[in-house]
């Protein structure tokens, strides 16, 4: 919708015979702000600005009517609100449908993913974005680090983003991250079938005041969800994905198998086996999150 809004502004401006600088002067913003709006490459326009553009361009309320749809969209690199929430979150739950979440990406993997943006203006902008993404990862090693629980679709492991070498290093990074006590990694295998978040990725953030927000993302859209009822619905979807995924130890074994290019011969347990193993892990860990795959939890509590 932001792209549609920008396209309409550009078309109306062209018909009116105005340059970006001239339009900016008439609505009292700098010309670069008009460029951002037309390219959908910056902060979303305010309602006041949408009204001003509508009036100056004679859009007959078209831009004002589009504005609510633009407002509800949030793009991952440009959503200041979502990044602000992420920086304060005490726990982060992510389901990744297509790529490894940014918090766990290696530099080479991040560069490969970010380079796909068709709106990139050049190498300098790409490097700025890579640096910004890596800087956000510092939160995971800070004193107020959040608990991070990541569910990866099997497609994330199978797609060699950046090539085989880059992907192998990325999978190794996932294994290293999962060894940390505050990070849990699970894999949702293909054989689990359809689910409620097949269209894209999902993030649920728990904030210090006890409130929660959710963020959904597809290949060309993003949406920040703040209304409590809708957040609860997304949280339920995430909990179902987490329950359907392989237990932690099996998930890490799958990642290792993909690294060795021999996953086809690995046994994928049935759903009943997964439930049993998950229950055993919960019994072992008590109140702690599911752990496993690092060799430190080899003993099983006797079953009643």
User: Per residue in 142-172, pLDDT tens?
Assistant: 999 999 999 999 999 999 999 889 999 999 9
Which pLDDT belongs to residue 59? 93
Whether pTM exceeds 0.75 = no
The bridge status of strand 212-217 relative to strand 222-225 is antiparallel
Which pLDDT belongs to residue 287? 55
Which pLDDT belongs to residue 220? 65
d(CA 99, CA 110): 10
Start-to-end C-alpha separation, the chain:
56
> Is residue 296 over pLDDT 50?
no
Q: Which of 44-58, 113-127, 176-190, 241-255 has the lowest mean pLDDT?
A: 113-127
> Is residue 75 over pLDDT 60?
no
> Is residue 299 over pLDDT 80?
no
The token duo for 101 is: 């979440």
Which pLDDT belongs to residue 45? 82
Domains of the chain: 2-71 (1.10.260.40), 80-285 (3.30.870)
Q: Which of 26-35, 251-260, 269-278, 289-298 has the lowest mean pLDDT?
A: 289-298
């Amino acid at each position: 919708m932001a792209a549609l809004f920008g396209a309409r502004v550009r078309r109306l401006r062209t018909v009116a015979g105005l340059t970006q600088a001239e339009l900016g002067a008439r609505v009292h913003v700098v010309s670069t702000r008009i460029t951002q709006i037309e390219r959908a490459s910056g902060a979303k326009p305010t309602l006041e600005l949408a009204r001003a553009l509508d009036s100056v361009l004679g859009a007959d309320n078209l831009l004002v009517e589009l504005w609510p749809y633009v407002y509800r969209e949030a793009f991952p690199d440009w959503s200041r609100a979502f990044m602000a929430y992420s920086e304060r979150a005490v726990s982060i739950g992510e389901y990744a449908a297509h790529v490894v979440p940014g918090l766990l990406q290696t530099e080479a993997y991040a560069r490969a993913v970010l380079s796909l943006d068709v709106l990139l203006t050049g190498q300098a902008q790409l490097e700025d974005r890579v640096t910004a993404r890596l800087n956000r990862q510092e939160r995971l090693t800070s004193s107020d680090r959040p608990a991070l629980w990541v569910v990866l679709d099997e497609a994330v492991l199978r797609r060699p983003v950046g090539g085989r070498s880059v992907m192998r290093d990325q999978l190794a990074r996932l294994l290293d991250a999962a060894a940390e006590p505050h990070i849990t990694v699970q894999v949702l295998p293909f054989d689990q079938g359809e689910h409620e978040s097949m269209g894209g990725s999902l993030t649920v953030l728990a904030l210090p005041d006890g409130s929660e927000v959710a963020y959904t993302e597809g290949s060309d859209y993003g949406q920040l969800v703040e209304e409590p009822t809708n957040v609860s619905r997304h949280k339920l979807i995430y909990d179902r994905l987490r329950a359907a995924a392989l237990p932690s130890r099996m998930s890490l074994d799958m990642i290792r198998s993909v690294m060795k290019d021999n996953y086809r011969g690995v046994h994928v347990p049935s759903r009943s086996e997964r439930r049993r193993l998950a229950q055993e892990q919960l019994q072992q860990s008590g109140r702690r999150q599911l752990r496993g795959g690092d060799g430190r939890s080899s003993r099983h509590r006797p079953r009643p």
